[in-house]
Amino acid sequence: MKIEKPAIAGTLESSDCMVTVEPGNGTIAMNLESAVMNQFGEQIQKVVKETLERLQVDDVNIRIVDKGALDCTIKARVECAVYRSVGQKKNLPWGGVIR
């Protein structure tokens, strides 16, 4: 998928994360802010990269502000932001693409 416009998914509430995607410059540029960066930063980055790969997104600026979200929440927020960015509103394969 090609990111067409900026899009946001998620909140800044506890146990959630806010994901913002924007068109990239030919690569995946990730900016991660997390209160648990030392413990889970590498795992969060891994989950985001795997989700983007499964969605076939390889050109994106993505920003994640994590407030203690579980992996499944991170995947859902990334997926939602990408679908919003491309304007896909029907036939959403929620969960099916990122298994």
Average pLDDT over residues 13-31: 95
Instruction: Give the per-residue pLDDT at 90.
Output: 78
What is the residue range of 80's domain? 7-86
Q: Is the pLDDT assigned to residue 93 strictly greater than 90?
A: no
Structural domain total, the chain: 1
Q: Please give the biggest Cα pair distance in the chain.
A: 39
CA–CA separation, 4 vs 86, rounded Å? 5
Is 96 within the bounds of a domain? no
Instruction: Give the per-residue pLDDT at 89.
Output: 78
- pLDDT tens profile 43-57: 999 999 999 999 999
Please report, for the domain that includes residue 76, its CATH number. 3.30.230.10
Instruction: Dump the DSSP string for 41-67.
Output: HHHHHHHHHHHHHHTT--SEEEEEEES
Instruction: Give the per-residue pLDDT at 54.
Output: 92
